[in-house]
Structure 1
Amino acid sequence: MNRISLDIAGHRYDIACRAGQEGHFLGLARVIENKVAQATDAMGRMDATRQLLFAALLLADELGEARASAVETGAALDDATFDRLETIAVRLERLAAG
C-alpha cells in the first residue's frame, strides 16, 4: 500500500491506496474539490464539514440523475461501475462525517 495526500476543502487528508492508484485518487480529489468550490459559490463560506457535505450531496444528485437516465434509456450501469460509484459515495460520507 502507498500513501498519498489529498487536499480538499482546505484540509490535507493522508490516505492509503494500492500501488498505481495514486493518480486515480488524485483525480477523484479534484472532482470533490470542484464540487466543494461549486457548493461554496452557491452557498457562501462554510466550514470544511459543510463543504464536504454539500459536495457529497451534489455528487449523489449527479449519480441519481445518471441512474435515472440509464433506466430511462434502457441502459444499466454495469456492476463494476456501480460498485465504484458506491465506494466513492461511502468515502465521501466518511470524509464529511470527519
Structure 2
Amino acid sequence: MAETTLQIAGRHYPLRCRDGEEAHLAHLASLIERKARLAQQNTPGLTEVRTLLFAALFLADELNDLKREAIGRQQQLALDDEDEAAARAVEALAARIEKLSDRLAAQGPDA
C-alpha cells in the first residue's frame, strides 16, 4: 500500500492508495484544486468546507454536462444506424424493382 499527500485548497491530505496510483490521485487532486481556487476567487472568505463543497459542485456540473453530451451522441449514432439500415433497405428495393423491370422488358409487350 502506497502513501501520498494531496494538497487541496491550501491543506495537505495524507492518503493511502494502491501502489502506482499516486500520480493518478495527484492528477485528480489538481482538478479539485483548480475548482477550489475558482470558488475562492469568486467568493472570497469561504470556509474550507464550503470551498470543497463548491469545488465538488463545479465538478459535478461538468460531469453532468459531459453525460448529457454523451447521451446526445449515442442517440445521434442510433439515428445514424437507423438511417443506414433504411438506406440499405431502399437500395435492396431499388435492385428488386430493376430486376422486375428487366424481366418485364425481356418478356416484351405481348406477355
Q: TM-score, normalised by structure 2?
A: 0.64
Q: TM-score, normalised by structure 1?
A: 0.72
Deviations 1:18-42 (A, max 9, x none): 1111000011111100000111111
Q: CA deviation at 1:13?
A: 0.6
Alignment of 1:1-98 (within 5 A): 1-74=1-74
Q: CA deviation at 1:72?
A: 0.9
Q: Which protein, 1 or 2, shows the higher relative CO under an 8 Å CA cutoff with sep ≥ 6?
A: 1
Q: CA deviation at 1:45?
A: 2.4
Structure ranking higher in helix proportion: 2
5+ residue gaps, structure 2, are 76-111
5+ residue gaps, structure 1, are 76-98
The code of the aligned residue for 2:48 comes to A
Q: Which has the larger radius of gyration?
A: 2
Alignment size in residue pairs:
75
Q: Hey, which bits of structure 1, 4+ residues long, moved more than 4 A?
A: none
SS in 1 for 2:74: coil
Deviations 1:66-95 (A, max 9, x none): 0000111117xxxxxxxxxxxxxxxxxxxx
Q: CA deviation at 1:43?
A: 1.6
Q: State percent identity of aligned pairs.
A: 40
